[in-house]
A and B are shown apart, each in its own frame.
Chain A
Amino acid sequence: MRRTLPICSLLACLCLPQLLLAQELMQRLGGANGPPVVEDAAQLAVPMLADGTVDLSGVWIDGGTGRAEDLLPAGTLNNLMQPLTKEKYLARDPADDPYNWCMPGGPVRITGGFAWRFVQHPTTNATHIFMLQEGNAHTYRQIFMDGRPHPEDPRPTWYGHSIGHWEGNTLVIDTIGLNDIFWLDVGGTVHTEQLHLIERWTRSDYSTLQREVTIDDPGAYTAPFTVSYTAKLAQPGSEILEYICIENNQYGVAGGAVSE
């Protein structure tokens, strides 16, 4: 214990500037990208559509931020990674994250860090649900709700092929046909084209969406695992804004990953 205190103090000193810098920049640069969220709305009922399904429409903030490694119990991801997955994971550098070069973040990160909108179309017996992303690649996901199956051999894409159905008040989205180019999350969690994602979206109260994402990828992990996220409803009147990441992306210049 006598040796612990100096070590901890040293580490705290080393980490503190980063901590303060990050906090200060966050505050001074106007906070998160999204509009303010609804607070204290627990007394409001979860809205329902005429067909008896939950109304998910609105602008939501977050619901896909964070590294799986941090969101799972300590050591879980490490224990599940196959040897090649672990090697790839440890070698990943933020400068190699396609997201930082304005490419799509894939189905989990489409809701991370920026405002996004859920659209059920039509609003009675929806055949499609869309997730419209404000940030980064300024793109969308479409979820087929009309009962169609997955194609037998889908071409791997950034958002894959998604089909959805309701289990009670929970929207279940099943996705396959994903490419292995994007990083699953900001931490570089690895996946392969064998990735099968199962998402469970539940509006647990008026202003909160709970999201459980099961990552089933026999090409990268020894067993499926589930990561949980939370999205918050933006204040009424909030809109998603235009954000074209590639417009003036100077990522890498300051840090030296690319020259000007």
Chain B
Amino acid sequence: MRYRSPLLIIASILMLTGLFTRAALAHHSWISEYDANKALAVKGVVTKVEWTNPHVHIYVDSTDDSGNVTAWNFEMASVLSMERGGWSRRTINVGDVISVEGFGGRAVTERAIASTIITNDGQSLFNEKPRD
């Protein structure tokens, strides 16, 4: 028993990864949609909030130093999950300036998933419940 089979170890790692990955699935397989190697940080103005199922979407326009505007579509969790976590459809509004961290879509980078949102006053909207 001193030496474990390499295959067993490899299988264990894959299984562990698979279990955690699947644990995160809600409606969809996020891993099949988003690229863990496309971490991104975007600051911009909210142009639209879709407080919808299966997932909430927040649209953000970011402008670079040359004045070029990029339109982002950030996917979030389900309305069920977000409302149970203390969010509401009024938490983020059109016109708000926010900073978003997330991961780009595998095929369409700007169709991304948000992992953290920080409002203009520095409030983090993922690691704590949003304040009133």
Please report A residues at the B interface, Cβ cutoff 8 Å: 1, 3-4, 7-8, 11-12, 15, 17-26, 28-35, 65-67, 70, 74, 94-95, 100, 102, 113-115, 134-136, 186, 241-245, 247-256, 260
Contacts and interface: CB of A to CB of B under 8 A. Distances in A.
B82 A30 contact: yes
Contact of A66 (B22, B36, B76): B22
B27 to A, nearest CB: 6
Contact of B106 (A4, A30, A114, A254): A254
Contacts of B77: 29-30, 33
A248 B11 CA distance: 37
Contact of B36 (A18, A94, A186, A241): A18
Given A67-B22, A113-B26, A256 B115 contact: no
B106 A255 contact: yes
8 contacts: A7-B10, A8-B13, A19-B21, A22-B31, A24-B115, A28-B116, A34-B80, A186-B25
Among B83, B116, B126, the one with the most A-chain Cβ atoms within 10 Å of its Cβ is B126
Interface of B: 3, 6, 9-11, 13-34, 36-37, 50, 52-55, 57, 73, 75-85, 87, 103-108, 111-113, 115-116, 126-127
Given A23-B24, A29-B77, A32-B81, A248 B57 contact: yes
B117 to A, nearest CB: 9
Contact of A4 (B9, B32, B55): B9
Contact of B54 (A115, A241, A248, A255): A248
Given A8-B6, A25-B115, A19 B20 contact: yes
B26 A32 contact: yes
List 9 A-B pairs, minimum CB-CB distance, nearest first. Answer: A256-B107, A254-B105, A30-B85, A248-B52, A29-B77, A22-B24, A4-B6, A15-B17, A28-B126
Contacts of A18: 17, 21, 31, 36
A133 B17 CA distance: 28
Nearest to A254: B105
Given A186-B22, A250-B55, A255-B32, A17 B81 contact: no
Given A8-B6, A17-B36, A22 B30 contact: yes
A243 B75 contact: no
